[in-house]
Structure 1
């Protein structure tokens, strides 16, 4: 039987993720943000002062990728790094006023992209779709 991409969860998830990322990028670009910066800001808006290694773990990205993202964010005035008082070998990452001010507009942009992606779903379908996505993600984390 030939590969049917329309029946492949991986293919469809990848295509959906690429289209979602493209739409989000267009919506947050006017704010001066890149998708990796937005993802990092989401984690820091939830809990400011995380270490780089904690951000890597929470966002499931490579250490080098996070290092580059944080360097750009520091350059752009979105974060400052401070010595971790509990561990002199590590630094904690803190939001600046600029980053704090972006929380509303950036999360509004993400909500708009979510709305566009799920516009043709009923409320029940949205909940079911999101629940199924969470289950698939959880199954892959358990591997």
Structure 2
């Protein structure tokens, strides 16, 4: 077999992901967010008052990664962590006013990313549907 790294789908996905996350860094720095904090906030802007375990499942992050991230967001005044009164093992994450306001300010992020990666909207939409299919197929396969 004649191996070529740049012909491997897995490498292209990996390298593209790293490059996009680098682009996000420049966009998110003024908001005081890392990429992982940003996607966590997106999950909360989509649905406030979630269990830590639910967030971890949605974001595909283990508790060792998610817990320090949530502590930092809490320290920054963007979320609160509240233990369930009946079951102390359950911890809910709630947006603060500052966290909600950040959601309004961050509405510019997706458009800025498209400008950084220099992809037109139609191609971005095609790529989205392809990757969404790959992601959904993975989740379906993970259940069986």
Give the alignment's TM-score, normalised by structure 1: 0.88
Give, in angstroms, the shift of residue 10 of structure 1.
Answer: 0.9
What is the distance in 2 between the residues matched to 1:8 and 1:140? 18
Partner of residue 36, structure 2: 36
Give, in angstroms, the shift of residue 138 of structure 1.
Answer: 2.0
For 1:1-143, what aligned pairs fall within 5 Å after superposition?
Answer: 1-84=1-84, 87-119=87-119, 121=120, 123=122, 125-141=123-139, 142-143=141-142
Question: Contact 1:24/1:110 (CA < 8 Å) preserved in 2?
Answer: no
Between 108-117 and 94-103, report the one with greater CA deviation.
108-117
Instruction: Give the RMSD, CA atoms, in angstroms.
Output: 1.8
Unaligned runs of 5+ in 1: none
The DSSP-based 3-state class of the residue aligned with 1:43 is helix
Give, in angstroms, the shift of residue 86 of structure 1.
Answer: 6.0
Give, in angstroms, the shift of residue 100 of structure 1.
Answer: 0.9
Give the direction of change, closer, same or farther, for the CA distance of 1:59–1:122 in structure 2 (3 Å limit).
Answer: closer
What is the distance in 1 between the residues matched to 2:57 and 2:50? 11
Q: How many residues align?
A: 141
Give, in angstroms, the shift of residue 129 of structure 1.
Answer: 2.1
After superposing on structure 2, the runs of 4+ consecutive aligned residues of structure 1 that deviate more than 6 Å are none
Question: Contact 1:118/1:126 (CA < 8 Å) preserved in 2?
Answer: no
Unaligned runs of 5+ in 2: none
The DSSP-based 3-state class of the residue aligned with 2:48 is coil
What is the distance in 2 between the residues matched to 1:87 and 1:12? 45
Question: Contact 2:23/2:117 (CA < 8 Å) preserved in 1?
Answer: no
